[in-house]
Amino acid sequence: MAISPMKPMLKQARSEKYGIAAFNVIDYNSARAVVDGAQEMSAPIIVQLSVKTIRLWGFKPIADWVRSLSDSVDVPVALHLDHCKDLGVIRRCIDAGWTSVMFDGSALPFQENISQTKLAYELTMAAGVGLEAEIGAIGGTEDDKFVAEDEAILAAVDECVEFCQHFPDLAVFAPAIGTAHGVYKGKPKIAYDRLAEITSSVDIPIALHGGTGLSTEQFSRCIQSGCAKVNISTMHKLQFIDGFADLRKQKPDLGEPIPFIEAQYELMKKGVKEMIALFGSQGKA
Ligand code: 13P
């Protein structure tokens, strides 16, 4: 089917308390593993791209891959832009056919975050494209953004309420709740009470960033508390590398690339299916 907007998918996920996996894809093979994994699980799925990855491959080629992959399956596939501070990139994604984008003004002072997010909101609403926006500071590294763990800041509930009043049609809202991008150094400390307070005052679906390394229990508690979009990047990137590296170790004399591409695809697809099963979105397409 044609690529889908993520907002209705996430609204339903939040009300039925399951999570939709959003994978940061790397190339065509990675996007193929994500979409095929979703198809095998009959699950809605979000294919998302970092700005760095878009700069590598280009807007149109990526949109073309995802469109053709989506056309080949019968589960809803959304095409989303992950953390982006550049309205020019957002405009180009909209023109190329992305169904949603994230504007990340979280490093700005709160009022400035609101005024910058407003520009992205106007742009996306006019184009009929979904918007994700963030407040607080999620720890770790994502694309070119680094927030030291001791500088991560939980989103304040009153600020979440004020922020969302400005943007009632957000597709998904990303408040920092203690998770971090990348590989966790210690045990992740999720502020469940804060999350519950936010979701009792904000009915927009919540995005859970920093999915790699969370336990089954942590995913489940967050999803039960309103997290509808669950972001996975680092795990998928490591499987992208390991798919090649493991086969190279097993068969050092193999010089034909296609078995490597297939091994990589199978490993990534397995990871995608495991996450879908964990988040409860299997059969929800
Ligand atoms: P991980 O790299 O921890 O999976 O986080 C992904 C993410 O939140 C992308 O925005």
Other C-beta atoms closer than 10 Å to the C-beta of 270 total 14
Q: Quick check: 115 pLDDT over 90?
A: yes
Please name the residue whose Cα sits nearest to atom 1 of ligand 1: 210
> Does any ligand 1 atom lie closer than 6 A to the CB of residue 233?
yes
- 235 CA distance to ligand 1 middle (Å): 9
Closest atom of ligand 1 to 237 CA is 2
Other C-beta atoms closer than 10 Å to the C-beta of 60 total 12
The structure's pTM equals 0.96
Q: What pLDDT does 184 receive?
A: 86
Beta bridge partners of 24: 48
More confident residue, 244 or 145: 244
For the chain, domain boundaries: 6-279
Q: What pLDDT does 137 receive?
A: 80
Report the pLDDT averaged over residues 241-251. 98
Q: Quick check: 210 pLDDT over 80?
A: yes
- Three-state SS for 170? coil
Q: What is d(CA 273, CA 220) in angstroms, rounded to the nearest whole number?
A: 16
Q: What pLDDT does 74 receive?
A: 97
Q: Give residue 96's Cα distance to chain centre.
A: 19
Q: What pLDDT does 150 receive?
A: 61
Report the pLDDT averaged over residues 211-218. 97
> Does any ligand 1 atom lie closer than 6 A to the CB of residue 181?
yes
Q: What pLDDT does 17 receive?
A: 98
Q: Which of 234, 235, 237, 241 to mutate to test the pocket of ligand 1 (most atoms within 8 A of CB)?
A: 234
> Does any ligand 1 atom lie closer than 6 A to the CB of residue 5?
no
Nearest CA-CA partner of 46 in 265, 239, 236: 236
Tell me yes or no: is domain 6-279 CATH 3.20.20.70.
yes
- 103 CA distance to ligand 1 middle (Å): 15
Q: What is d(CA 121, CA 119) in angstroms, rounded to the nearest whole number?
A: 5
Specify the DSSP class assigned to residue 204. S
Pairing between β-strand 140-142 and β-strand 145-147 as defined by DSSP bridges:
antiparallel
> Does any ligand 1 atom lie closer than 6 A to the CB of residue 182?
yes
Tokens encoding 242 = 């390991």
Mean pLDDT of the chain: 95
Q: What pLDDT does 220 receive?
A: 98
Closest atom of ligand 1 to 181 CA is 3
Q: What is d(CA 145, CA 139) in angstroms, rounded to the nearest whole number?
A: 10
Q: Quick check: 271 pLDDT over 70?
A: yes
Q: Quick check: 216 pLDDT over 80?
A: yes
Could you identify the residue written with the tokens 């800041």?
Answer: 153
Q: Which positions are catalytic?
A: 82
Burial of 33 (0-12, 13-18, 19+ CB in 10 A): buried
In the chain the first and final C-alpha atoms are separated, in Å, by: 12
Q: Which pLDDT tens digit goes with each residue over 134-192?
A: 999 877 777 776 766 666 789 999 999 999 999 999 999 999 999 988 988 888 889 99
Q: Which of 145, 147, 209 to mutate to test the pocket of ligand 1 (most atoms within 8 A of CB)?
A: 209
Please name the residue whose Cα sits nearest to atom 8 of ligand 1: 209
H or E stretch at 230: strand 227-232
Rg (CA), the chain: 18
- 36 CA distance to ligand 1 middle (Å): 21
Q: Which pLDDT tens digit goes with each residue over 52-103?
A: 999 999 999 999 999 999 999 999 999 999 999 999 999 999 999 999 999 9
Beta bridge partners of 137: 153
More confident residue, 21 or 189: 21
